Amino acid sequence: MTLQAGSYNAYGAATVATGTPRAIEYQVFSQVTGELNRALQEGKSFADLAVRDNALPDALRGQLLSLAAFTKNHTTRVLEREAEAGVLVEINTAVMRGLRGQAPDAGVS
């Protein structure tokens, strides 16, 4: 199983999990942690975008790295109550659309 497939499975499972919010959150953490552990054991890289032999075009890699930096910084500001989370929801929605192969203005369900 690839790291990406494992991540999809972990998040996909969270959408159908039942139980208390705390139990569901525990389940997601458990699944993601298991996938991370398997990736570590297989010697997988967690910095794909920063690796020179990444198959993505350099421009796209740069854009994704910039997006990651923005997201990290903005998340910190949200947690410190210095910013709103709306833009992070918009980013996640756009990423989900892209992963589904949908046009930018298509709805995500």
- pLDDT on residue 28: 84
Residue among 72, 6, 15 nearest 38 (CA): 6
Q: Which residues contact 20 (CB under 8 A, 6 or more apart)?
A: none
Res 3: pLDDT: 47
Tabulate helix, strand, coil % of the chain (nearest 5): 70, 0, 30
Residue 77 φ then ψ, to 5°: -65, -40
Q: Is residue 6 a contact partner of residue 38, using CB atoms and an 8 Å limit?
A: yes
Q: What is the pLDDT of residue 54?
A: 84
pLDDT of residue 22: 87
The segments of the chain whose pLDDT lies below 50 read 1-4, 7, 13-14
